[in-house]
Structure 1
Amino acid sequence: MSALVVLKSPARHGWYLTWLHTVRDVVAELDLGLLGVVAPSKGHGPDFLWPSPAGPRTTIEDDLAQVRRTDPGIVAAELAAQARRLDPRTVPDGLYRTLTGDPLAARDTLVAQQRLAWQALVAPLWDRIRGLLDADITTRSRQLADGGLEGLFADLHQRAVWHNDELHLTGLRHAVLDLRGRGLVLVPTAFGWPHLGIGPTDSTSASPPALVYPVLGAARLWERAVPSSAVSRLLGAGRASVLAETFVPGTTSGLAGRVGLAPATVSQHLSVLRDAGLVSASRRGREVLYRQTPLAAALLRGESP
């Protein structure tokens, strides 16, 4: 959904020009119909289309299933509110009737179109995105363990300040949200920079609200990892390319796809790089993520460690 916001207002999101160029041909053939109408270009949209993830291992199918379980009454109310924000003259008649008609049919249509949007816009980059999201979660978990909530929110976002046991969010409409023991889910996003968002804000909702913030190092997703000629001569071209690509954490198969080498070859390179202290490994469920160490980062930048 955040990717669609960027897509609908590209001039407001210069940060993502590289991604917009990458998906340009795909977007030209992508007809999202009703989803394209209800996805906001700015401001507010239907909350049920932005479900709070149950945890860091949530998959796209988990999220879509959560959207599909939304009560029809909630769907009808939120789509009606969205319809009031739209100018009917700018929406094709058929889509406007679907928007204001049977909520079950509208919900199922939106879920199907969300899946199409995922497959076209996000899935091709998901290995890199997921690696950066996992790195953010690891960093935030360490901040929480070391400094509590004050340490966690110290650099999460300039508009989020922890003060007197309350989280103060500036730049949003005035409201007070009592979590009532439900908790707050922190959701890093690759497509949200530089914005901060929260929802759902309905205090009667059983699910916890989600605070959506830009992932650490978001710019890295759109940079091409190219090792210097000196590092390539030192390590060999293949091993150097694998090392450079681990600036965004990834699995063996994911890194293999990024650098265009066989997984077995990448596995051998990672083993050597890990023995040399240039990459570290951490487990994500059944997968192992590899990422650069500070020594590798210094080497690739041509600096003294």
Structure 2
Amino acid sequence: MLRYVLNEADVAAVRFGISPLCELGLSLRAIRDPSRYPLQLPWLARTERARSGLDLAALTALVDERLWTPDFLNPRPESPLTRIEDELDALSGLSAAEFRRDLVAVHGHVPAAFAGPARAAVRRLVRALRELWDATFEPHWPRMRAVLEADVVHRGRQIAQSGLSAMLNGISSTVDYADGVVSVRLRDPTDRTQRIGGSGLTLVPTMFTRRGSAPVGDGPPMIMYPARGQGALWETERVANPDAVAAVLGQPRARLLAALGEPASSTELGVRFDVTTSAVNQHLRVLRDAGLVTSTRYGRSVLYLRSELGSRLLSPFG
């Protein structure tokens, strides 16, 4: 059990972040044991051929049989706008002591793939991760980021509507919040209590965890939790259309309106409905001009959400 003790200032400073490097590192768990990550099996299947040409010796040395990964793969993001280029640049400057310490914390030793001079090993680490990103993440990252950003928007709405406590108690079945203490039930048998003391708690949605998790060591307070909406990411969506609404709006717009009960980007919607992003954008502009959907810019994405008027239009058919 890990307990983060928050004072009043810490409660006010709880924030969200998105870390491409964290996603990259956690994806190694799905690669090692696909059976534990059924929602990401389509991603694994799509990227299987691309992974065959990577430095698998280095990549597999970054995860153990418990599916633990070194803390240097889980940097605390400063915002939801973090870029992989910046995180890999920071990782390149990893000290030899921190590199070895985090590997030993996971494996009990430094794996053979990273034996020898630490600087050369760190270069191999960064190169292997960069190749993994380019081959398996770069083509799909806009879709993934859209899901992660939509999750953050949803959690923000929860805080506004029901308060921080309700949000924290809803991010994972293994995370509980009460009386200023966030408890995370980890597989690590060690019982730890960490007073945040003004350093802030960062919540990081991810596609590659099934439960709340945290860094192995005593790094900056951070909880990684499963993002909502993963199940629909790799599948095209078939929404049953209310005939009367479809007759007024047309089937494509009626389907989009029905799907926008949760925030989504045009990129994500294009994947779900198996149409081009430009076609989705044309329909969304019409729906927005009619007051049936709202749009909000979030980082590099524009997220769309059905408006109250749009919900009322559908409600007799829901």
Bucket of the pairwise TM-score, normalised by the shorter protein = 0.7 to 0.9
Give the whole-Å Cα distance in 2 for the aligned partners of 1:41 and 1:100: 20
Q: Tell me, yes or no, if the aligned pair for 2:184 and 2:213 is still in contact at 8 Å.
A: no
Q: What letter is aligned with 2:304? A: Y
Q: What letter is aligned with 1:211? A: I
Q: By how many angstroms is 1:59 displaced?
A: 1.2
Q: By how many angstroms is 1:146 displaced?
A: 4.0
Residues 1:154 and 2:178 are matched in the alignment: no
Q: Tell me, yes or no, if the aligned pair for 2:173 and 2:212 is still in contact at 8 Å.
A: no
Match in the other structure for 1:4: 28
Q: What letter is aligned with 1:198? A: A
SS of aligned partner of 1:112: helix
Larger displacement relative to structure 2 (21-30 or 68-77):
21-30
Closer, same or farther: CA 45–256 of 1 in aligned 2, 3 Å: closer
Match in the other structure for 1:46: 70
Residues 1:280 and 2:294 are matched in the alignment: yes
Match in the other structure for 1:163: 178
Match in the other structure for 2:217: 201
Residues 1:59 and 2:76 are matched in the alignment: no
Q: Tell me, yes or no, if the aligned pair for 1:149 and 1:162 is still in contact at 8 Å.
A: no
Match in the other structure for 1:212: 224
1:29 to 53, 60, 69: 53
Q: By how many angstroms is 1:293 displaced?
A: 5.2
Larger displacement relative to structure 2 (278-287 or 124-133):
278-287
Q: Tell me, yes or no, if the aligned pair for 2:263 and 2:303 is still in contact at 8 Å.
A: yes
Residues 1:290 and 2:295 are matched in the alignment: no
Match in the other structure for 2:159: 144
Q: Tell me, yes or no, if the aligned pair for 1:79 and 1:99 is still in contact at 8 Å.
A: no
Closer, same or farther: CA 175–290 of 1 in aligned 2, 3 Å: same
Give unpaired runs (5+ residues) of structure 2.
1-24
Q: By how many angstroms is 1:43 displaced?
A: 4.0
SS of aligned partner of 1:187: strand
Q: Tell me, yes or no, if the aligned pair for 1:192 and 1:214 is still in contact at 8 Å.
A: yes
Match in the other structure for 1:135: 150
Q: By how many angstroms is 1:182 displaced?
A: 0.9
Give the whole-Å Cα distance in 2 for the aligned partners of 1:257 and 1:158: 29
How many residue pairs get matched? 289
Q: What letter is aligned with 2:228? A: L
Q: What TM-score does the superposition give when structure 1 sets the normalisation length?
A: 0.79
Q: By how many angstroms is 1:18 displaced?
A: 2.5
Q: What letter is aligned with 1:267? A: N
Residues 1:304 and 2:317 are matched in the alignment: yes
Match in the other structure for 2:194: 177
Q: Tell me, yes or no, if the aligned pair for 2:37 and 2:208 is still in contact at 8 Å.
A: no
Q: Could you say what the CA RMSD is over the residues aligned between the two structures, in angstroms?
A: 3.3
Larger displacement relative to structure 2 (76-85 or 115-124):
76-85
Give the whole-Å Cα distance in 1 for the aligned partners of 2:56 and 2:264: 30
SS of aligned partner of 1:181: coil
1:102 to 114, 117, 123: 117
Match in the other structure for 1:121: 136
Sequence identity percentage = 32
Larger displacement relative to structure 2 (227-236 or 178-187):
227-236
Give the whole-Å Cα distance in 2 for the aligned partners of 1:293 and 1:60: 34
Deviation string for 1:258-294 (max 9, x for gaps)?
Answer: 744373x443322112234443211124642234558
**Within-5 A mapping of 1:79-98:** 79-84=103-108, 96=112, 98=113
Give unpaired runs (5+ residues) of structure 1.
89-95
Closer, same or farther: CA 252–45 of 1 in aligned 2, 3 Å: closer
Q: What letter is aligned with 2:73? A: L
Q: What letter is aligned with 1:104? A: R
Match in the other structure for 2:206: 189
Q: Tell me, yes or no, if the aligned pair for 2:80 and 2:299 is still in contact at 8 Å.
A: no
Match in the other structure for 1:92: none
Larger displacement relative to structure 2 (157-166 or 32-41):
32-41
Closer, same or farther: CA 170–83 of 1 in aligned 2, 3 Å: closer
Deviation string for 1:228-258 (max 9, x for gaps)?
Answer: 4777974556656766776785555676677
Q: Tell me, yes or no, if the aligned pair for 2:59 and 2:128 is still in contact at 8 Å.
A: yes
Q: Tell me, yes or no, if the aligned pair for 2:207 and 2:230 is still in contact at 8 Å.
A: yes
Q: What TM-score does the superposition give when structure 2 sets the normalisation length?
A: 0.76
Q: By how many angstroms is 1:54 displaced?
A: 1.2
Give the whole-Å Cα distance in 1 for the aligned partners of 2:259 and 2:116: 48
